[in-house]
Structure 1
């Protein structure tokens, strides 16, 4: 019945001119053709399409059959009909109006979700390329529309991260990346053959947008295999190499993009990025920088005369962008790029003036976020190691400036303890090696004002700030032992009265208050534990105005005793520091009296 209906429609249309076809004819043709496919009359439909007398009808209306044919191929039913379906599809691509066919193919690409995205893209890429090449004009717009549609769909696929996931390629992203490169090559070759041809300008812009989008997704989040592995085994490395090659071929080699550090807006003013695309640009260039300097892709295009400090300056803005992202796979790239850039430098060689550049202070603050907020322990440790490496590369004034910045902005006891330990190390180096004015005398005194103080005086939460307090006491103990009152190289003895008022005395008061509070909580918890166990198995305790998360009474007691132990430890070190101060002061007084 469906075949007869289709033949009837075709017979009526054969006597008409193309411009006389009515909208009703299109609808009836599509409906009858679709029923032929669904009812299994594939061979009969193929014969109708092959009939030379129907050429005009197929050219005008045949694109309506592409959707049903493609869906039939994707269903994979009736294997014996599959070959005929492919023949029909090929004929439709060959005979139909390319403009209508292009829109039909793009609609089909936009339809699916999940694993079907890659299936339909792999099926339609070659026909899509053929259709675009057949268009008599406006090829740049069509290629740009196709590339944008393809990228939008591919960006919905999850990016595999482990070697096993890459090999399995469950969602077909890796296969699609390879196929997309083959799809794009003819358009790149067309631009490369004559970059100055005005007809190629628009196509070049569309290709540039596509390359930038590809750098952001999937390459920004993709995990790359070890470089020792065969390059052919890593689809993302191959994809990255091709994308970077495309950029060079269309007139945007790596140096032109990367070396325009800080001047992106001037560089790309002639290319009209949409607002969303413009926001993507920072991520894209950051990804490109990572690929070049960490993965070594495209390094042969870079000048060999660039100094390590210039390369670091070049990369810092991109490192800042990478560290600002929340995806583990992205900010880990920022850590890798930072390490690669810093290792090129000699220790103590990075001039303090670099810290006047925004990214040079933003990056260590980004590292602090990784160290304190990242849920992955290995990355937290890497962030800490990178911050230490960064500190090591700065000159003395740079270290001093960074320490002040971190003490004022980190708001994290552990980070502040880390900074204070670094200050101690610099003071020690100043004693053992060349005298360093930034970690002695007036400059050090100013730094000690930040270190040897309690943020909220005696009301400071000592448990929350225990790491910082212990580091400060240890630094003070070191200074008292190392510096004699007569020498006073560090300025400690001049500032001792201020230190006692701002740090030691409030710490005594705070310890007494905290210990009394926790001892009362322990006593209260012990008294009520039996009653609590009779009515319920858990209890709650309020400490420092905040309720400790509900837990068994035994665990509550353990937490409270642990806090008391911390206070005892702080008190012990505090007592030792005050004892050393008294001994040193008494010794100096006796020496002065003896001299008189």
Structure 2
């Protein structure tokens, strides 16, 4: 029978029923006619009539009569060949749960699972899974998991590819369900994701146990058979896909927050299956660093070990400590951090809040295990140790979620604390060159000041004193566009630079000159202080002119009250046009800008006083 033809006929079921008047009598007739057919040589018309009549009887409440026909031993061959056609209406009735024919339909399905061809049943059941309506995904998946498991078991040792196909279809549907975000949503299972994940575990356990037993037997009997290895690989793909969908989107709750968490249990068992089928957690974590393995049956290794899945696994291991007892303790915290940097970078390169949060958490947990001042400078040569800070800057400056920006700054400081002195030095130089954000640059300059202060107190720190320090100082004490630099936009950097310079002049005595500041003072005055003074004067003159003009416009506008409502003007800050403001609002902005220039000028004047005082005998 052409399967496609049967489903095409089923699509026109209502019209055919009207035209042909299909009833229980027609179903009985086709079954009686087929009983006389030898060697299952049924015609396409036999299939069509059986399908249409059988479905019509079930949908019209005649399931008891259909059951009597299905269980009749004389109809066994007919049911074995054609019975899968009844899956659609049976599933439809069973999903209603309150239908009067529920018991009969369940009995029909149970009998079909025992009699029909397992391959036909598998395809039919998976079609019902994949065609499930968005509002009935969970109910459909949970209803069909046990029938699917029973059908797969009937396939014997050659079931691996079918198991993989079933797991892929089921997980694809489960991944369509929304993910609970709060403790209450997970407790109440408002989206039914928890029930589906728990049921999916029950479904996959016998196959995972079979693969585990095969692996254990292989230690004594030799290599596993091709069928055993294929099942192992299908389970591997399932676990990797589970780590990505839904677990990558899930924010797991700690046991203190939610003692019994179905999603945490799902994650724990998925990681357990990986270990059970012979996947080393340490190899998976270090996958990007170790030599890539040859995996039979896949054109590309990434198909079997997706990067997002490996990142999700690292997050489960080191943030939630799932299966951490199975992770070797011989790896140093520095090596673990090095392995995790690829995963951290993948998380932080995304824009979704969930991914960013996981990246920050994984970075923090990886760093806290590392001793302060212990990360060697050689790590900065690795691509990930360059990419992660760049993505971290994007989180700190562009992420719309305040607490993630704050967490990003905290993790940045933690990473700085872990570098040794030379690494800190080169990291600061790199960040000043590449961050392109005044707030970040100001924060780095503040760290430079702290390291210089430490170097002046503790002997042996050559990187933040003398000849090594001078290139870093010139990099910190500069204006990107000379006198024309936008001082308001670069205020954070300008103020930290001035504070650094003032600190050096006060802290480092001229006769000692440990930092070299006094040797370079002429250059600094010429290349930094003089352009800055000029920039302040230019900016002040511009804003004072704007203030005078705005005040004049405001006086004119007040002459007519209606004009006050309509009179608006615009201000451009950082090359971005701000929303329209009334003259009063603009006056406030201009006064604030002039106050900022006063503040810069005040610190600059203090520095000049220090220089002048030091120059006197």
Pick the TM interval, shorter chain.
over 0.9
Name the CA distance, whole Å, in 2 between partners of 1:414 and 1:500.
Answer: 24
Q: Counterpart in 2 of 1:593?
A: none
Task: Give the CA deviation at 1:347.
Answer: 1.4
**Mean Cα deviation higher: 104-113 or 466-475:** 104-113
Is the CA contact 1:521–1:541 (under 8 Å) kept in the aligned structure 2?
no
- Distance of 1:153 and 1:553 partners within structure 2: 57
Which one of the candidate residues 438, 442, 452 is aligned to 1:417?
442
CA contact (8 A) 1:18 1:56 kept: no
Question: In the alignment, which residue of structure 2 is the partner of 1:242?
Answer: 269
| Per-residue deviation, residues 476-526 of structure 1 (Å, max 9, x unmatched) | 000111122222211112212221222111111211222222222222223
Measure the CA separation in 1 of the matches of 2:51 and 2:592: 78
SS of 1:348's partner is coil
- Find the aligned partners of 1:534 and 1:566 in 2 and give their Cα distance: 34
- Give the alignment of 1:217-296 within 5 angstroms: 217-228=245-256, 233-263=260-290, 266-270=292-296, 272=298, 277=303, 281-296=306-321
Q: 1:441 and 2:469 equivalent?
A: no
Q: Determine the C-alpha separation between the residues in 1 that align with 2:550 and 2:39.
A: 92
User: How far is the alpha carbon of 1:77 from its aligned partner?
Assistant: 4.7
- Give 2:5's aligned residue: none
- 1:18 to 1:520, Cα distance in 2 relative to 1, 3 A: farther
2:237 match: 209
Which residue of structure 1 aligns with residue 603 of structure 2? 573
SS of the aligned residue for 1:489 comes to coil
| Deviations, residues 39-60 of structure 1 (Å, cap 9, x unaligned) | 1112111111121111111111
**What SS does structure 1 have at the residue aligned with 2:37?**
coil
Residues of 1 paired with 2:49 and 2:543: CA distance? 85
Instruction: Give the aligned partner of residue 404 of structure 1.
Output: 429
The aligned residue for residue 511 of structure 1 is: 536
How far the C-alpha of 1:292 sits from its partner, in A, is 1.2
490-499 or 449-458, which deviates more: 490-499
Q: Compared with structure 1, are the counterparts of its residues 274 and 304 closer, same or farther at alpha carbon in structure 2 (3 Å cutoff)? A: closer
Indicate the residue corresponding to 1:12 in structure 2.
33
Return the match for 1:139 from 159, 183, 188: 159
Task: Answer yes or no: is the 8 Å Cα contact 2:254–2:320 preserved in 1.
Answer: no
1:526/1:17 CA distance change after superposition, 3 Å: farther
Partner of 1:155: 175
SS in 2 for 1:267: coil
Kindly indicate whether the alpha-carbon contact (under 8 Å) linking 1:115 and 1:172 is maintained by their aligned counterparts in 2.
Answer: no
Partners of 2:432 and 2:444 within 8 A in 1: yes
d(CA) in 1 for partners of 2:585, 2:281? 59
Match of 1:63 in 2: 84
Identify which of 98, 109, 114 aligns with 1:94: 114
Q: Please report how far the alpha carbon of residue 554 of structure 1 lies from its aligned counterpart in structure 2 after TM superposition.
A: 2.5
Q: Does 1:168 align with 2:168?
A: no
Shift in CA distance, 137/292, structure 1 to aligned 2, threshold 3 Å:
closer
| Aligned match of 1:539 | 568
Match of 1:463 among 470, 479, 488: 488
Distance apart, 1:403 and its partner CA = 0.5
- Worse-matched range after superposition: 240-249 or 464-473: 240-249
Contact 2:244–2:309 under 8 Å retained in 1: yes
Secondary structure of 1:20 counterpart: coil
Structure 1 residue 275: Cα displacement: 8.4
Partner of residue 376 from structure 1, selected from 387, 393, 401? 401
Give the drift of 1:534.
Answer: 3.1
Over 3 Å counting, the alpha-carbon distance change for 1:295 and 1:543 in structure 2 is closer
1:342 maps onto 2:367 in alignment: yes
1:74 pairs with 2:100: no
Cα offset, 1:17, TM superposition: 2.7
For 1:368 and 1:425, the matched residues in 2 are separated by 21
Distance in 2 between the 1:63 and 1:453 partners?
A: 78
Q: Quickly say closer, same or farther: Cα 1:274–1:55, change in 2 above 3 A.
A: farther
Does the 8 A contact of 2:212 with 2:276 survive in 1?
A: yes
1:310-389 equivalence runs, <5 A: 310-389=335-414
Higher mean C-alpha deviation, range 13-22 or range 205-214: 13-22
Question: Is it true that 1:30 corresponds to 2:55 in the alignment?
Answer: no
Taking the TM superposition and a 5 Å limit, the aligned residue runs for 1:174-185 are: 174-185=194-205
Per-residue displacement from partner, 1:329-378 (whole Å, max 9, x unpaired)? 22212222222222122211222122122222222222212211222211
- In 2, Cα distance between equivalents of 1:186 and 1:455: 65
2:613 maps to 583
Corresponding residue of 2:593: 563
Q: From the superposition, tell whether residues 86 and 276 of structure 1 become closer, same or farther in structure 2 (CA, over 3 Å).
A: farther
Aligned equivalent of 1:303: 328
Q: Is the 8 A contact 1:13 1:57 kept in 2?
A: yes
Alignment partner, residue 394 of structure 1:
419
Describe the SS at the equivalent of 1:194.
helix
Deviations 1:459-479 (A, max 9, x none): 111111000000000000001
| CA distance in structure 2 between the partners assigned to 1:20 and 1:538 by the alignment | 89
Deviation at 1:456, TM superposition (A): 0.8
Structure 1 residue 137: Cα displacement: 6.1
Structure 2: stretches of 5+ with no match in the other structure: 1-21, 216-223
Distance 1:483 1:435 in 2: 16
Give 2:131's aligned residue. 111
Deviation of 1:435 after TM superposition, in Å, equals: 4.2
Would the alpha carbon gap of residues 344 and 358 (structure 1) be closer, same or farther in structure 2, given more than 3 Å must change?
same
Does the 8 A contact of 1:208 with 1:247 survive in 2? Answer: yes
Contiguous gaps of at least 5 residues in structure 1 = 591-596
* Contact 2:465–2:514 (8 Å) recurs in 1: yes
Instruction: Kindly state the Cα deviation for residue 295 of structure 1 after the two structures are TM-superposed.
Output: 1.1
Q: Which runs of 4+ in 1 moved over 6 A?
A: none
Q: Is the 8 A contact 1:18 1:60 kept in 2?
A: no
Counterpart among 121, 145, 148 of residue 141 in structure 2? 121
Alpha-carbon distance in structure 2 between the residues aligned to 1:310 and 1:548: 48
Residues 230-269 of structure 1, C-alpha deviations (whole Å, 9 max, x = no match): 65x11121111111111111111312322445126x1254
